[in-house]
């Protein structure tokens, strides 16, 4: 079905209004934030409503991305983190006591959506002037989250993706195309470095195992310019859409990998700050920090895999995906050279 982007957004807003009724939030201030699979709105709630007054984020979840049990489990973990005093978005149940609200406008496009309401994250988003103090603050909150995760007993039925080898590069998580097809479709010029990283990650995973000392529930998407807001000396993570079970060290590799992509900075300054902040709130112990460079490379390879799988699932994005793969392959080569130099 063909329609203009404006018409699509008008219908998406209608879905948002339908969802908000199920929280008792008719006629509240609703501001569109963005659409990138998930539709995001800022909701301002006045006094005297079933939900405490303040600002919230309404998410209209991307169809066929996260299963309902995954979304419910994300909300359960956010609730547990909040109860621990960690500044994360506070999840809100609807009037029926459910975490997920279904909004159906009767449209073919956009189709019905699973929706969630969570607290708004105050703070400043970074796009430049990133300093060691920001990575130190991120390390502190990562340490608190990992400590909570190690000691927390999830409720019955809790389910999130596993960002192990199969989740990162296999069929453990689907980006819309068979994993084998996506791996083999990586351009020949980049196959050697791509497969080198995959083989190293597989070997490291076998060496690390899956004990609580190395593996647990992580955010898995903590880019300092994307999913973290900063207030004074505090880092406030948000967008837990990709949280799941993985290696603790992967949570380190993600922000450092993205920082390298954004800045080309090959120094260890931010890495040192991130680890230093982490050690203020958690025992780094034997989490496998010696594999940090490898898991930084794993994040970059995961992005290549994502773009390739997305191109197979959505051929209209083929050229854009090709450009991203070439770009990320260049970064991956530089990381591998640094690793091999030791």
Peptide bond into 190 cis (omega under 30): no
Do 295 and 247 meet the contact criterion of CB atoms below 8 Å apart?
A: yes
Quote the pLDDT of residue 1: 54
Segment 140-151, tens digit of pLDDT: 999 999 999 999
Give the pLDDT of residue 36. Answer: 86
- Give the three-class secondary structure for 166: helix
**What domains does the chain contain, in order, with CATH numbers?**
5-119 (3.30.200.20), 132-341 (3.90.1200.10)
Give the model's pLDDT for residue 342. 62
117-139 confidence digits (pLDDT tens): 999 999 999 988 899 999 999 99
Question: What's the pLDDT score for residue 64?
Answer: 83
Residues with pLDDT less than 50, the chain: none
Work out the angle at residue 154's Cα, subtended by the Cα atoms of residues 152 and 160, and round it to the nearest 5 degrees.
115
Which of 55, 52, 60 lies closest to 43 in space, CA to CA? 55
pTM of the entire predicted model: 0.94
Residue 271 vs residues 257, 329, 339: alpha-carbon distances, Å: 10, 21, 14
CA angle (238 as vertex; 261, 262 as ends), nearest 5: 10
Structure tokens at 78: 């956010």
């Amino acid at each position: 079905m063909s329609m203009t982007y404006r018409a699509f957004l008008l219908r998406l807003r209608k879905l948002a209004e339908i969802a908000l009724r199920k929280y008792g939030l008719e006629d509240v201030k609703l501001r569109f934030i963005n659409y990138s699979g998930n539709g995001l709105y800022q909701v301002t709630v006045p006094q005297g409503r079933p939900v405490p007054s303040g600002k919230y984020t309404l998410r209209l979840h991307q169809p066929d991305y996260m299963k309902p049990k995954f979304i419910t489990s994300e909300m359960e973990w956010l609730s547990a983190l909040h109860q621990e005093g960690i500044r994360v978005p506070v999840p809100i149940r609807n009037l029926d006591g459910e975490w997920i609200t279904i909004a159906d406008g009767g449209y073919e496009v956009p189709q019905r959506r699973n929706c969630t309401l969570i607290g708004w994250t105050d703070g400043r988003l970074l796009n430049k002037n990133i300093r060691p103090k920001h990575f130190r603050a991120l390390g502190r909150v990562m340490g608190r989250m990992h400590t909570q995760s190690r000691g927390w007993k999830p409720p019955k039925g809790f389910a999130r993706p596993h960002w192990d080898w199969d989740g990162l590069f296999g069929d453990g998580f689907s980006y819309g195309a068979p994993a084998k097809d996506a791996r083999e479709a990586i351009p020949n010029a980049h196959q050697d470095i791509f497969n080198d990283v995959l083989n190293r990650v597989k070997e490291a995973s076998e060496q690390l195992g899956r004990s609580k000392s190395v593996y647990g529930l992580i955010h898995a998407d903590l880019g300092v310019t994307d999913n973290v807001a900063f207030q004074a000396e505090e880092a406030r993570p948000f967008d837990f859409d990709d949280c799941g079970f993985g290696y603790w060290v992967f949570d380190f590799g993600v922000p450092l990998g993205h920082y390298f992509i954004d800045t080309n900075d090959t120094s260890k300054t931010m890495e040192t700050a991130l680890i230093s902040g982490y050690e203020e709130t958690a025992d780094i112990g034997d989490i496998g920090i010696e594999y940090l460079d490898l898991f930084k490379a794993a994040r970059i390879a995961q992005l290549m895999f994502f773009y390739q799988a997305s191109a197979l699932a959505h051929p209209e994005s083929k050229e854009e995906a090709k450009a991203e793969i070439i770009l990320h392959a260049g970064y991956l080569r530089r990381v591998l050279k640094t690793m091999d130099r030791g």
